[in-house]
Amino acid sequence: MAKECKKEVAQSKKRRTLSVKERKKGFSAVEFSLLKEEAIKEAQRCLGLKECQSCEICNLFCPDLCITQDEKTGEVLIDLDYCKGCGICASVCPKGAIKMVLEGEYEQKNSNRHEL
């Protein structure tokens, strides 16, 4: 049960171009390249949030088959008892939603979390 994909219009800045008069003078590039700040902003617009969209690519590449999806909520679950920590899931995640952390750090962050 994957999350519903929502399409949102994000405006991109109009690219700088040569004037028609300048274009007729030669074979120079018509569009100028992006400045560093513009390139970063454009990349952020394209990549969007770093939130899991339940694409299940991590599940397909997991050699331990320890990544599953909750049928009711659609949440992606990782069984840490079976995970060997190879990091393949983190490297193939297109959203960067999976982070590799040392086991002690994970336990500290989630010490107040109780699962039934």
- pLDDT per residue rounded down to tens, the chain (116 residues): 444 444 455 566 677 787 888 888 888 778 877 888 888 877 766 655 567 878 889 999 999 999 998 888 888 888 988 899 999 999 998 888 888 887 776 666 655 544 43
Query: Which residue is associated with the tokens 């193939």?
Result: 92
Domains of the chain: total: 2
Query: Does residue 38 lie in a domain region?
Result: yes
**Residue 76: per-residue pLDDT:** 86
pLDDT digits (tens, 9 = 90+) for 57-82: 999 999 999 999 888 888 888 898 88
For position 94, which CATH number holds? 3.30.70.20
Q: What are phi and psi of 40, to 5 degrees?
A: -65, -45
Query: Does residue 115 lie in a domain region?
Result: no
Provide CB contacts within 8 A for 50, sequence distance 6+: 95, 96, 97
Dihedral sign of CA atoms 114, 68, 76, 99 in order: positive
